A and B are shown apart, each in its own frame.
Chain A
């Protein structure tokens, strides 16, 4: 497979594959739990405000799913916090002084908050008052957001590093202002784009589950409510996301032009208006886009707001600094395509509302079911675009990926990669199956929470005389 590569290059490729694999797998869960934690907070808040049991039922229905997804997010996230040391030790040594504190802040202000209040959120409904329980839910939701804040700051600093000084031996040292490090140029755009993506991803999952059950029973009030809430989210937030993504793209053009060139497939410079390629097969060897189908001058129009504006291509970038175009070009198109499909679904739902057919339009429901997992695909595609587009650097323009890797021999990295692949697919595959099974049960009145689930006879339940647990009676 790696014939022709020397052992060091092989180890590098394997380490990159391992990071890409573990982080992609991991991010699926936060992408869902950031949105779902907020959705749960909204549901519980609506229940407390209106007193309608329907909201409590929905809260409990999604809480069970949240608990499974969150557990997988925790264990796969733990792996990430050690990957930097196991496989990217030179990077950690050189950059630890700058990004380490941000990650430490993530642990202190986010992970402990989530974990500390999660137990009460999941199992404490009968052990603390309603207000306190709601506070716990809010803290978990806040924790997911704060976590995103710090880790996206770290990632953005690697894309657009600012606020640092260079020490002896190529060490990155913090400058006088931490704000200059945290609020680096791409951070606000990436944070907004990522958090909205998590909300959209969750909305599409919730919408798909609602739609699935509407296709079976369109009178189910619970299915209707979740479908309606999710479709509002898609209709209102998908356009915002497209605007946010566009702004993020312009920011990237300013700070990481080579990444945009790869996204656009612009191998050559276009002195008088660059075309927007909709399709093409990038050929990195020949530095040429084959079978290109494009709209003349549209890329200049989007990126420069002027159809005749010149746009530089990868021919202006030194060959050793070019990112691989094939992956970036296509992952970007997948993300954007799905984004517009989400917008389409949102608009369709608005049309259905105006015609009073939101709950009676099976084609819409089928489309929503099909779109259910699309958020995950878009989110991963987006991350692939920005991370592969940063190559061949870990700290953009300053520290090469090849100079960041641990001195671990290829066989050790290969063995660990294989173990991660096998175990992740097995364990998280089964976990996903459990989540799908929970979703396949229609939401009902008097929904059980995770603390009194019939399959969890005693768990950490409160005192529940009305609910006789099976098995555990003495």
Chain B
């Protein structure tokens, strides 16, 4: 008998991963935006994501909607526990989203909308990163509800994960830009990618070192025999990929830095999975506690099975249509 709850945990993890890498590079470009010169550099940076950002953000709706549908109890606990973060993320995404259109509509206030694009992206990335930390450090649950205060999420650890996500998104954004833009913007993108790569590696390392000391489970999971032998490859491979990334950025490869960054994010996701399993709210609510009724799982799985391949196909097609360098006159 296949456990649908596990399958749904994997589907939600997949949606979150897709969101993190796809909107990750959108938000990363937003975070780096002010460092690009107004005019051609910024216009190119914007054009690198204008046709795809909406699709990328849809994965966030799937992550949220999917969590409600597949693990309603987790949705009902995590969102109130991180209330100010979620609200801040939403408002950040409002500014980020409208800036795509508004900056073209109003050249006189373009500088303002560019800053809105930057600020919105930064706030959204920071809020997402802090939410991750808040989740990992544990949430105070009583019965079926969040029972903490409204600033419980704030801690040095959650701020560290927040900054880590900002760095990681900047790395994704810089690598994507290095692929899509030309001229001075491309040079800048490679420069930022190197800095962001160092920052990401250091912060990811710090988070990885801090996490086991948060609560008993994480330490046990990673550092007791025989788990330590099984899991040691995760940080080791991550280290090797990070080294390859720095080298590849030095040689200014086209696709390779972006792909290696994706690999780092994937490994980070694996590490996260190892730490959290089988909790959806660590130490309080397991995936089985939070799971939707069996009938809901089956009904949605049919939809996912049929529709997800189509989504991936036409999303891939849309990326293909807008492939290549953005250039200063559009795509070549």
Contacts and interface: CB of A to CB of B under 8 A. Distances in A.
A206 to B, nearest CB: 20
Interface in B59-92: 60-62, 64-70, 72-73, 75-80, 83-84, 86-87, 90-91
Nearest to A474: B328
Given A173-B295, A469-B329, A108 B147 contact: no
Contact of A431 (B67, B102, B144): B102
Contact of A455 (B58, B75, B104): B104
Given A86-B83, A107-B62, A408-B150, A93 B73 contact: yes
B100 interface: yes
A351 interface: no
Interface in B270-304: 292-293, 295-296, 299-300, 303-304
Contact of A407 (B93, B145, B311, B326): B145
B94 interface: yes
Interface residues on B, range: 35 or more
A243 interface: no
B57 interface: yes
Given A81-B61, A112-B311, A453-B104, A124 B51 contact: yes
Nearest to A89: B76
A97 interface: yes
Interface in A200-235: none
Main secondary structure on B side of the interface with A = helix
A447 to B, nearest CB: 16
B329 A78 contact: no
B300 to A, nearest CB: 5
Interface string A178-191: 10000000000000
B50 A105 contact: no
A416 B127 CA distance: 15
A107 B65 CA distance: 7
Interface stretch (B36-44, B199-207, B258-266): B36-44
A205 B292 CA distance: 43
B66 A90 contact: no
Interface in B90-131: 90-91, 93-98, 100-102, 104-107
Interface in A430-471: 430-431, 434, 437-438, 450-451, 453, 455-464, 469, 471
Contacts of B150: 408-409, 412
Given A98-B296, A109-B307, A461-B329, A75 B98 contact: yes
A271 interface: no
Main secondary structure on A side of the interface with B = helix
A173 B295 CA distance: 8
A460 B50 contact: yes
Interface string B292-328: 1101100110011001100100110010011000111
B76 A90 contact: yes
Interface residues on A, range: 35 or more
B70 A100 contact: yes
A178 B91 CA distance: 35
A71 B70 CA distance: 28
Contacts of A308: none
Interface in B205-260: none
A86 B87 contact: yes
A408 B101 CA distance: 35
Interface stretch (A30-38, A114-122, A387-395): A114-122
A5 B39 CA distance: 54
A360 B30 CA distance: 50
A434 B296 contact: no
Q: Which of A95, A101, A407 has the most CB of B within 10 A?
A: A101
A264 interface: no
Interface in B152-184: 183
A408 B91 CA distance: 19
B58 A460 contact: no
A101 B299 contact: yes
A472 B87 contact: no
Q: Which of A78, A85, A111 has the most CB of B within 10 A?
A: A85
A406 interface: yes
Interface in A236-288: none
Given A81-B61, A101-B300, A127-B321, A459 B50 contact: yes
A474 to B, nearest CB: 6
A106 interface: yes
Nearest to B50: A460
B329 A71 contact: no
Given A434-B106, A453-B104, A463-B330, A116 B94 contact: no
Given A119-B52, A119-B318, A457-B43, 12 more contacts: A68-B102, A85-B76, A105-B300, A107-B58, A108-B308, A176-B295, A406-B146, A408-B83, A423-B95, A431-B98, A458-B327, A459-B330
The 8 closest A-B pairs by CB, nearest first: A96-B72, A119-B51, A100-B69, A85-B79, A461-B330, A75-B97, A93-B76, A456-B104
Interface of A: 67-68, 71-72, 74-79, 81-82, 84-86, 89-90, 92-93, 95-98, 100-101, 103-109, 111-120, 122-124, 127-128, 139, 167, 169, 173-176, 178, 406-409, 412, 415-416, 419-420, 423-424, 427, 430-431, 434, 437-438, 450-451, 453, 455-464, 469, 471-474
10 contacts: A86-B79, A100-B296, A108-B304, A120-B51, A174-B299, A412-B83, A416-B83, A423-B94, A458-B47, A472-B40
